[in-house]
Amino acid sequence: MSTPTTHEFQAEVKQVLDIVIHSLYTDREIFIRELVSNAADALEKMRLTQLTENDVFQSEAPLEITITTDEAAGTITIADAGIGMTRAELVENLGTIAHSGSKAFAAALKNAGKGGDASLIGQFGVGFYSAFMVADEVKVYTHSWRNDGEHLCWTSTGAGTYTIDEAPDQARGCKIVITLKEDAKEFANASTVRRVLSKYSNFVGFPIQLDGERVNTVEAIWLKSKDSVTEEEYEAFYKFAAHAFDKPSYRLHFQADAPLVINALLFLPEQNMELFGMGQMEPGVGLYCKKVLIDPHPPKLLPDWMRFVKGVIDSEDLPLNISRESMQDSALVRKLGEVVSKRLIKFLDKEAQDDPKKFQEFYAKFSRFFKEGVATDHANRDAIAKLLRFESSLTEKGEVVGLGDYVKRMKEDQTAIYYQVAPSRSSIEGGPYLEAFKSKGYEVLFLYETIDEYVISSLPEFDGKKLQAVNSPDVDLGDMAHEGESLSEDATSALAGWLKEALAEGVEEVRAGKRLVSAPALAITPEGEMNPQMRQMMKAMKP
Ligand code: ADP
Ligand code: MG
């Protein structure tokens, strides 16, 4: 007889379990989605493992998911013939959270308001624990794909601890048995479960049996033509593939034959998960070859800044046996990423023109990514720059303009695109720089974020026009109309000389200029010097 060992959940897991058990009441059915998605992940890993390993436990077991309901016992069981888990893996995967997901999860739930939105859970990489929304007890029976693995059972009620014990005669993979809470017995009912599964089971890449009957057809909707996919199917696919709780803001579904055969289905989310304090997201567009998953989060497929994009890229030009490692250096993959990212940026530019209001709302949440793109993605820099939006001297507060529209309404004699970096609209409007530009009728972009400075400096030109800061010495506004009398040249240089002495160390040079209308003086950043905002940023970074 073996004796079970008892283990404490890691503190972060306890925190998640506490939220799951005590604050999530809506959308409880998503626990099925999360467990099926884990089963599919485990099967996917098994498929890849079988390509390289000869010594596999129960190597003949079919790669499928088996769900059974038992109303009399009040249980639902979800089993898969995936990679399973060893004792150490049970402790690692079901007892701890590797990343700081739980804190972000707790914060996001607070944002979501009372009652708690359970569908958030998958986004945070803690989907397994969603089972405890409906469970009095969860048992995970498992045998790893490794031949020397043990036959095990993990058990918990979600209250602080779990046990691991030997359990003879387990099949390869995981079998998760959930004893349902009194108020969740509906999930022991086959037709309830079938209804829940029907929403997304066709997107699962492996057969699913429910009480002995096949429920899904395994289809790759990205390979279908646009007009044969319904809005509901698209949305359900997005939610399943991205573990998403929101609706997509934009969707791009396209097929191309040249220069590569590509089937792509991409979604831009509604919520920016990085704003929830999750840290950097993983790339969200999976790479497939003829429906077969090559890598769910390929790091070098799309440019880094596009990590908020979700979906699928499938290309039959890829060799099926391409490994994740060799994929990263593959010229073909690079080309694929280039083609798709160009297409996506162009698509967004068009959408932004067709419905500026919608884009502005989207941009308000995702601007960081586009700015990062301009600064880091040289191949696409100019195209991404078209998507940047700023307030300006010609917009209302809260309204924005893009560089394209700016250029369109430039004055005939205007040679550059002007901008001012400052923390707020009022500080710009109250300052001395703007008036000269205003009197010329030149628009000035207002850049409020510290990174804007850096972003703009990586963009020397747009549409052949230089971008110039209003406090740059290169700004040339030509002759300004002045009212009243001007000082004589001698008087001006005497005044300048006196100022230089009086301000001593503070300034490099004092000179007469033509660009002030009513303010007496302004500060200009000398060539090659950091401007004030940059200096402030550097100061703030110093320990
Ligand atoms: P995620 O799936 O985002 O990693 P989960 O909380 O859903 O987070 O699952 C945690 C981990 O538990 C998984 O990463 C996996 O290692 C393991 N796991 C869960 N379900 C299974 C399963 N059916 N087979 C094998 N491993 C599993
Ligand atoms: Mg999961």
> Which DSSP symbol is given to 146?
B
Q: Is the pLDDT of residue 474 over 60?
A: yes
- Residues, beta carbon < 5 Å, ion ligand 2: 38, 127
Q: Is 80 annotated as a binding residue?
A: yes
Does residue 494 or residue 329 have the better pLDDT?
Answer: 494
Cα-to-centroid distance, 128 and ligand 1 (Å): 6
Cα-to-centroid distance, 10 and ligand 2 (Å): 18
Give 76-88 pLDDT, tens digit per residue.
999 999 999 999 9
Q: Is the pLDDT of residue 99 over 80?
A: no
Of 86, 83, 87, nearest to 7 by C-alpha is 87
Average pLDDT over residues 338-352: 97
Name the residue at shortest CA distance from atom 14 of ligand 1: 93
Smallest-distance ligand from the CA of 46:
1
Give 119-146 pLDDT, tens digit per residue.
666 667 788 999 999 999 999 999 999 9
Give 203-220 pLDDT, tens digit per residue.
898 999 999 999 998 889
H-run or E-run covering 466: strand 465-469
Q: Is 123 annotated as a binding residue?
A: yes
Query: How many CA atoms within 13 Å lie on the side-chain side of 348?
Result: 26
pTM over 0.90? The answer is: no
Q: For tokens 């000389």, what's the residue?
A: 497
DSSP string, 294-343: EESS-TTSS-GGGGG-EEEEE-TTS-TT--HHHHHT-HHHHHHHHHHHHH
Mutate to test the pocket of ligand 1, among 15, 20, 41 (most ligand atoms within 8 A of CB): 41
* Contact assessment for residue 250 and residue 214, using Cβ atoms and an 8 Å cutoff: no
Across 121-130, 281-290, 405-414, 432-441, least confident range:
121-130
Cα-to-centroid distance, 42 and ligand 1 (Å): 8
- Rounded-to-integer distance, Cα 410 and Cα 443, Å: 7
* Contact assessment for residue 174 and residue 42, using Cβ atoms and an 8 Å cutoff: yes
Cα-to-centroid distance, 102 and ligand 1 (Å): 15
Name the residue at shortest CA distance from atom 12 of ligand 1: 93
Query: Residue 94 CA: which ligand 1 atom is closest?
Result: 12
Of 193, 190, 261, 184, nearest to 35 by C-alpha is 193
Query: Residue 122 CA: which ligand 1 atom is closest?
Result: 3
Ligand 1 pocket list (CB less than 6 A) = 34, 38-39, 41-42, 80, 82-85, 93-94, 125-128, 174
Report the 3 state secondary structure along 388-427.
CEEEECCCCCCCCEEHHHHHHCCCCCCCEEEEEECCCHHH
Cα-to-centroid distance, 132 and ligand 2 (Å): 14
* Token reading at 258: 């040249």
Cα-to-centroid distance, 182 and ligand 2 (Å): 25
Task: Please report, as a single letter, which amino acid is at residue 513.
Answer: G
Query: Residue 129 CA: which ligand 1 atom is closest?
Result: 6
Name the residue at shortest CA distance from atom 23 of ligand 1: 39
* Token reading at 125: 């990489």
Smallest-distance ligand from the CA of 101:
1
Q: Is the pLDDT of residue 200 over 80?
A: yes
* Token reading at 4: 């079970």
Angle at 73 (CA atoms; ends 69, 79), nearest 5 degrees: 40
Mutate to test the pocket of ligand 1, among 12, 33, 38 (most ligand atoms within 8 A of CB): 38
* Contact assessment for residue 341 and residue 228, using Cβ atoms and an 8 Å cutoff: no
Name the residue at shortest CA distance from atom 19 of ligand 1: 38
Does residue 485 or residue 475 have the better pLDDT?
Answer: 475
